[in-house]
Structure 1
Amino acid sequence: MSTVGYDYNLTRTLDAPVDKVWSAWTIADIYGTWASAEDVVLDVRPGGAWSSVMVIPGGTRVPLSGGYTEVVENKRLVMSMNVPGGDEPVLMAVDLAAQGERTQISLSQTFDTAENRDQAEQGSNFLLDGLTAYLATA
């Protein structure tokens, strides 16, 4: 990720083992459940692609796609995302750290503008809220 720009880093501790959190990010049916996404396709490997249609509150459907640039099982995913209206894909890093039966997760991204960063950070908080709720019942 670029070191110039506007970044965010969100960190939470989840009440689930790291392998369960990893599966939530890498198995299409599970991802769709907690991420409010439809038509999810995940090819989780370096060079693999992903796509989904995010259903945001209010029912708006947003098609998203991208690829995987780094995959380290149960530790790290770095994904590119083709942002509507953007010139280049944006990278998002998902870092996992096992803490016994719990997992620390960190999401981070860097953007060219504060507005884009703020929108992405809000979306990532929404994702983490969905993941937390899913793990509490799974």
Structure 2
Amino acid sequence: MSTEQITPANGFSYKLARTLDAPVVKVWQAWTTPEQYAQWAYAVAGSVEMDVRPGGAWKATMATPDGGQFPLTGSYLEVVENRRLVVGMDVPGKSAPAAMTMELDEQDDRHTRIVLHQTCDTAEECAMAEQGSTMLLDSLGAFLAGDGSR
């Protein structure tokens, strides 16, 4: 995995990249199908709803390692099937959603390069978002390698 931290004029940003052992279609389905997403993204079973289209809403209740739960909501800002997904996440107290971009690039029939990118307002928010995205990529890689189990 490669990690790159940049500080643009409008905030703090990270970029994570990995090559996954799965075709791009499987990676896309894992990220955009509620049942699959719940299996690897630390979501409570049955809590994930996705309307994967520009302007479509999503929600999920996430489970923390200590047994806690917290709801997340947002919308899809950009959807290019099997290539690019820009997910807006609602943030309490902020008028604009936090946006995370996922880009997929099929390397061959069996490998996909995934890049996650997000810009945050503070270094602390950026560090937390990067840590969460790293955990997601770890879990997604394990899910795809194990063909269904986290």
Q: CA offsets, 1:29-81, max 9 Å, x none? A: 00000001020001000010000001121111110010001000000000100
> Is this contact kept in 2: 1:3–1:110, CA < 8 A?
no
Secondary structure of 2:135's aligned partner: helix
State the distance in 1 between where 2:67 and 2:83 align.
33
Moved over 2 A (4+): 83-88
1:103 and 2:112 matched:
yes
Structure-2 change in CA distance of 1:8 and 1:82 (3 Å): same
Secondary structure of 1:115's aligned partner: helix
Amino acid at match of 1:55: A
Secondary structure of 1:47's aligned partner: coil
Correspondence for 2:4: none
Structure-2 change in CA distance of 1:74 and 1:3 (3 Å): farther
> Runs of 5+ in structure 2 lacking a partner?
1-7
1:30 and 2:36 matched:
yes
More strand by share: 1
State the distance in 2 between where 1:127 and 1:135 align.
12
Amino acid at match of 2:72: L
Correspondence for 1:115: 124
1:124 and 2:130 matched:
no
Correspondence for 2:91: 83
Equivalenced residues, count: 137
State the distance in 1 between where 2:49 and 2:137 align.
20
1:5 and 2:11 matched:
yes
> Runs of 5+ in structure 1 lacking a partner?
none
RMSD value over aligned CA atoms?
1.3
Using the size of structure 2 for normalisation, the TM-score is 0.88
Amino acid at match of 1:6: F
Amino acid at match of 2:42: S
State the distance in 2 between where 1:16 and 1:23 align.
11
Say which structure, 1 or 2, has more relative contact order (CA 8 Å, 6+ apart).
1
Using the size of structure 1 for normalisation, the TM-score is 0.95
1:59 and 2:63 matched:
no
Give aligned-pair identity as a percent.
Answer: 53
Aligned counterpart in structure 1 of residue 56 of structure 2, from 34, 48, 70:
48
